[in-house]
Structure 1
Amino acid sequence: MTAMKRLSILLGLAVAAAALTIRAQNGRKPFTVVEATIADMRAALDQKRATSRQIVEQYLTRIGMYEDRLHAAITVNPNAIALADERDRERQQGRIRGPLHGIPIALKDNVHTTFMRTTGGALAFENLVPPYDATLTKNLVDAGAIIIAKSGMTELANWVAGAPTPMPGNYNAVGGQGYNPYDPRKDPREATFDGRPALGTGGSSSGVGTAANFWAGNVGTETSGSILSPSNQNMLAAVKPTVGRISRYGVIPITADQDTAGPMAKSVTDVAIMFGAMESATPDPNDPATTKCTPAPNRDYTVYLKRDGLKGARIGVPRAFYFDRLDAMPEGNRGGLTAAQKKAMEDAIAVLTQEGAIVVDPANIPSIAESDPTNNFVRWSTCSGVTNVKGKDQDCSVVLKYGMKRDFNKWLASLGAAAPLKSLAELREFNKAHEKAGAIKYGQSQLDISDEMDVDGDRARYEADRAKDLRLSATTGIDAVMKAERLDAMFFPGASGAAIAAKPGYPTVIVPFALVANEPTPPFPSGFNAK
């Protein structure tokens, strides 16, 4: 960090401290962004206890103090204060753009912004400024949000390196390794002493900055678990929406079959506010999937947040695999919870019952408990890494590796003259040529198995696998148990239900509830006090 940058941070601290002191001397409770919700900020702005500029200054101060330790951001918006001043002037003039007016929000760095670079965490795109904004970026700005930063992420949404050396969550070649604010130390175990975190961050989206109070909330994207996983690891609430609810136009893809963006924040109310702001009022002509979903009236989902909303709701508990170990499964893929995890979930189930829910327990998913391996969801994995190259991919789904080549190349074409590369093949060549610069620290086996797919020649295989994905996840999976038990929802531990809901594009909501010990296998060395 340069002396000038240090000086700027110190000046920022002095300004923030002075402002807080003045408010305190006037007998008014000072406002702080630490652990403040979007609802708290809106109230403070309405009551003139804070300005958007002051909120942004506090967040920038925290970024300046802790970013070097956490690596939560890939790019911080240099115009954030100017944007805050603009929102303050609009507020003074009686113009409120929408529910996020003057609220700082971060976007995952695979979401297009024409006013900041969009890297996807890849060195090949380190200086890419896309020629168009993502639809969701435009929607958030129209709702008054200040896009304060582009958050860290697992490079290209975790579709770069699988087996034999899988990329750790929240690592990317541009910004390095992200760290969990609940324990921002490196993993000390010899086999994994490569800079990865001792306490996982989840991925491929990042919840680090929201948890560390760098911004009010952030936009993540998910293909299979990448909103739910980091929210679980950073104690955040989030919605992984129905595919098509939020436009994917201007988001670097893996596959249109499963990709979606979604909000991550400190509370369910904050998530509901962001959700409505991210959604378009009408279908996006650039994303045909958006024709499937009709927005809530005025795109306001907060009206559905009812204190007695669980009364009479039928909630299913899928014990098999998700709670209880299935010994009939192959070693290493038998599921189940530890004693501490199970205790936390039993406590949560008790709360559901206390709030008036009708808990259907067990409500096992047929395709999970199925004894026939060819009809069992757990045994039908997603093709990944060198173990599932062509010729070794008969027993896994090619949907993601096929979809990545099809949709990534379409995305590159949409960039026109701004595209630094023209194809997935060119990206692989770039990475190999820039290996010494850190382009492929963990290899690029995911990109390799995608590029070997023939979009025309392998279409029949893709379509067959996509049909099997939908049959096992939906028809004989979630749909079957929901219908048989007349359920309103299913109750999964943490992010464990991500994969089965992702394939048919079903929505999932996650909320923080309990903390359990960080006890990995193999264990941490003696004397390392895990948090």
Structure 2
Amino acid sequence: MIEKPLEIEEWIVEKDISALQTAMQEGIVSSEDLVQACLQRIRKYDRKINSVLEINPDAIEMARSLDEERQAKGSRGPLHGIPILLKDNIDTHDKMHTSAGSLALAESIAPEDSFVAAQLRAAGAVLLGKANMTEWANYMSSTMWSGYSSRGGLVLNPYGPGELFIGGSSSGSGASIAANLAVAAIGTETSGSIISPASQNFLVGIKPTIGLVSRSGIIPITHSQDSAGPMARTVADAAIILGALTGVDERDPATLSSVGRSYRDYSQFLDASFLQQARIGIPRFYYKDLDEARLAIVEEAIRTLKEKGATIVDPVQLPFCENTEWDWEVLRYEFKKNLNDYLAGLPEAVPVHSLADVIAFNERYAERALKYGQDILIRSEETSGTLTEQEYLDSKTKNIEISRSQGIDHVLQAHQLDALLFLGNEEGADLAARAGYPVITVPGGYAATGVISEDGRTSKGPQGITFVGTEYSEPTLIKIAYGFEQATKHRFPPKLD
């Protein structure tokens, strides 16, 4: 019989969901033990990285209740009693706030759970707290620093606080799980906001196909690209969580497209042997700006995939994407409409009920709220909010046609590929985001050197290898990512002491 560990706070480090479930099932630890250990680690380490915005005051009681339920009725499934953090733009109808990092919504209590939160509760997860994030999911200011919010301050990368890039906008979700402050977290992405911080923090991140996971109850940017998704330390954990999040939600019509194409259990696709039949394309055009250290990580990943039996098609071209000047008009137009709809549903006590109210609130409290300005909010407010403008319609059509039929789908079909390979958040996440297609990133290597960008960010540190596929190809992407992960095991935890 394995005895209960004396120092659970240290014992939980890097433990995956399967190991924790086994320990709870055998009575070695309880969900309450896990929650207490996470809270202890947050108190001990989060002052260095500022990743957790607030703790759920009911988390311990939730864990106790789930422990009692396990004893009386058995486990609900793999997430029973598992502590999970949620990004601060995901509604929870409890004692926690949902603010997207803004002062304007700092006291806002959601009138009901988001679909994502409700699914996690039903699966038996403990909603441990809210993770800090880039304010308004980095759709506020063109000079906003990734990981900063006026409500929560700046999130730092645990692998090099103050030195390494954190990634955004799910920065707190990434930093907290990298530092083992919870078992996993839920992030959200419009374009790169799961993939970027997952890559920069040696995590697995999945941005699902638009329609696989409901967006109801999530503070929005754009219904064309937004999605919630798991951020975890292993592909297996991310796959388990993804299954818990899926389902049709009448409040989000996009989920109707998932009927017959979604799964409640993605762990069935943890098949490392799939690499022996996988066909993966190498879009070298998108590697042209990589420095020597990061390019070496990509080349090593390609060698590993070849060694494991994958067929590598190198290079492949996406000519229309490569010669396209992308714009961001879909986001600018949809943000006003979507945010106004969300804010209109908040209680009267909340001080803002429209984008115009948010801008006015920020101006009123400019010293605290406008460290980086709000030019993006102002530009979005200039639109009609009706989504009838020709500029918007043309931009949306262009995004879909070029990223899908003249982009990802074109090259996958032309070469009979299962996926494309990119480094971290370099172009691939944005290309997939415009298409509404899935992306998965997995730890790929550590760049010991890097270059400094114009805004002072360094490219060194953890790097993810990212796989992009067509719509609802999550099963295939999970197989490829799992095979690569098992062959490499690049992840290691940060040193926090």
Q: TM-score range by the shorter chain?
A: 0.7 to 0.9
3-state DSSP of counterpart to 1:123: coil
Distance 1:354 1:297, change over 3 A: same
Which amino acid in 1 is paired with 2:253?
A: P
Residue 281 of structure 2 contacts residue 420 of structure 2 at CA under 8 Å; is this kept in 1?
yes
3-state DSSP of counterpart to 1:93: helix
Q: In the alignment, does 2:311 pair up with 1:358?
A: yes
The equivalences for 1:266-277 within 5 A come to 266-277=233-244
The equivalences for 1:88-107 within 5 A come to 88-107=67-86
Which amino acid in 2 is paired with 1:55?
A: L
Residue 159 of structure 2 contacts residue 461 of structure 2 at CA under 8 Å; is this kept in 1?
no
Aligned partner of 2:164 among 199, 206, 210: 199
When normalised by structure 2's length, the TM-score is 0.87
Cα distance between partner residues in 2 of 1:127 and 1:277? 29
* Deviation for aligned residue 1:458: 5.2
List per-residue Cα deviations over 1:188-218 (Å, max 9, x = no partner).
xxxxxxxxxx211100002011011110000
Which residue number in structure 1 is paired with residue 156 of structure 2?
Answer: 179
Cα distance between partner residues in 2 of 1:318 and 1:279? 30
Highest CA radius of gyration, 1 or 2?
A: 1
* Larger CA deviation: 398-407 vs 415-424: 415-424
Which amino acid in 1 is paired with 2:372?
A: Y
List per-residue Cα deviations over 1:225-277 (Å, max 9, x = no partner).
00000000000001110011000000000010100000000000000000011
* Deviation for aligned residue 1:113: 0.6
The equivalences for 1:297-446 within 5 A come to 299-320=264-285, 322-323=286-287, 325=288, 336-369=289-322, 376-377=323-324, 379-382=325-328, 398-417=329-348, 419-436=350-367, 438-446=368-376
* Deviation for aligned residue 1:426: 1.0
Residue 153 of structure 1 contacts residue 203 of structure 1 at CA under 8 Å; is this kept in 2?
yes
Which residue number in structure 2 is paired with residue 16 of structure 1?
Answer: none
Cα distance between partner residues in 2 of 1:272 and 1:482? 23
* Deviation for aligned residue 1:67: 1.7
The equivalences for 1:154-169 within 5 A come to 154-162=134-142, 166-169=143-146
Residue 157 of structure 1 contacts residue 205 of structure 1 at CA under 8 Å; is this kept in 2?
yes
* Deviation for aligned residue 1:381: 3.2
Which residue number in structure 1 is paired with residue 210 of structure 2?
Answer: 243
Residue 87 of structure 1 contacts residue 101 of structure 1 at CA under 8 Å; is this kept in 2?
yes
Which residue number in structure 2 is paired with residue 393 of structure 1?
Answer: none
Distance 1:448 1:213, change over 3 A: same
Gaps of 5+ in 2: 463-497
Which residue number in structure 2 is paired with residue 146 of structure 1?
Answer: 126
Cα distance between partner residues in 1 of 2:370 and 2:165? 21
* Deviation for aligned residue 1:380: 2.0
Which amino acid in 2 is paired with 1:459?
A: E
* Deviation for aligned residue 1:431: 0.2
- CA-based RMSD of the aligned residues comes to 2.2
3-state DSSP of counterpart to 1:430: helix
* Deviation for aligned residue 1:29: 11
Residue 5 of structure 2 contacts residue 11 of structure 2 at CA under 8 Å; is this kept in 1?
no
Distance 1:69 1:147, change over 3 A: same
Distance 1:484 1:298, change over 3 A: closer
Which residue number in structure 2 is paired with residue 188 of structure 1?
Answer: none
Distance 1:208 1:426, change over 3 A: same
Distance 1:462 1:523, change over 3 A: closer
Residue 235 of structure 1 contacts residue 512 of structure 1 at CA under 8 Å; is this kept in 2?
yes
3-state DSSP of counterpart to 2:437: coil
Residue 339 of structure 2 contacts residue 355 of structure 2 at CA under 8 Å; is this kept in 1?
yes
* Deviation for aligned residue 1:420: 2.5
3-state DSSP of counterpart to 2:312: strand
Q: In the alignment, does 2:63 pair up with 1:133?
A: no
Which residue number in structure 1 is paired with residue 232 of structure 2?
Answer: 265
3-state DSSP of counterpart to 1:344: helix
3-state DSSP of counterpart to 2:423: coil
Gaps of 5+ in 1: 1-19, 186-197, 326-335, 370-375, 383-397
Cα distance between partner residues in 2 of 1:101 and 1:530? 34
Aligned partner of 2:250 among 262, 269, 285: 285
* Deviation for aligned residue 1:95: 3.1
Cα distance between partner residues in 1 of 2:385 and 2:455? 45
* Deviation for aligned residue 1:517: 2.7
Which amino acid in 2 is paired with 1:52?
A: S
Which residue number in structure 2 is paired with residue 502 of structure 1?
Answer: 433
3-state DSSP of counterpart to 1:277: helix
Cα distance between partner residues in 1 of 2:213 and 2:62? 25
Cα distance between partner residues in 2 of 1:270 and 1:363? 31
Residue 30 of structure 1 contacts residue 49 of structure 1 at CA under 8 Å; is this kept in 2?
no
Which amino acid in 1 is paired with 2:131?
A: S
Residue 8 of structure 2 contacts residue 37 of structure 2 at CA under 8 Å; is this kept in 1?
no
List per-residue Cα deviations over 1:399-422 (Å, max 9, x = no partner).
101010011001112224354312
Cα distance between partner residues in 1 of 2:224 and 2:454? 38
Pairs aligned (count): 454
Distance 1:129 1:502, change over 3 A: same
Residue 35 of structure 2 contacts residue 63 of structure 2 at CA under 8 Å; is this kept in 1?
yes
Cα distance between partner residues in 1 of 2:245 and 2:373? 34
Cα distance between partner residues in 2 of 1:359 and 1:118? 44
Aligned partner of 1:69 among 48, 73, 82: 48
Residue 200 of structure 2 contacts residue 461 of structure 2 at CA under 8 Å; is this kept in 1?
no
* Deviation for aligned residue 1:121: 0.3
3-state DSSP of counterpart to 1:99: coil
Which residue number in structure 1 is paired with residue 383 of structure 2?
Answer: 453
3-state DSSP of counterpart to 2:104: helix
3-state DSSP of counterpart to 1:381: coil
Which residue number in structure 2 is paired with residue 124 of structure 1?
Answer: 104
Share of identical aligned residues, percent?
40
Residue 121 of structure 1 contacts residue 154 of structure 1 at CA under 8 Å; is this kept in 2?
yes
Distance 1:367 1:47, change over 3 A: same
Which amino acid in 2 is paired with 1:62?
A: R
Q: In the alignment, does 2:230 pair up with 1:294?
A: no
When normalised by structure 1's length, the TM-score is 0.82
List per-residue Cα deviations over 1:340-383 (Å, max 9, x = no partner).
111111110111111211111111212234xxxxxx23x2232x
* Deviation for aligned residue 1:523: 9.7
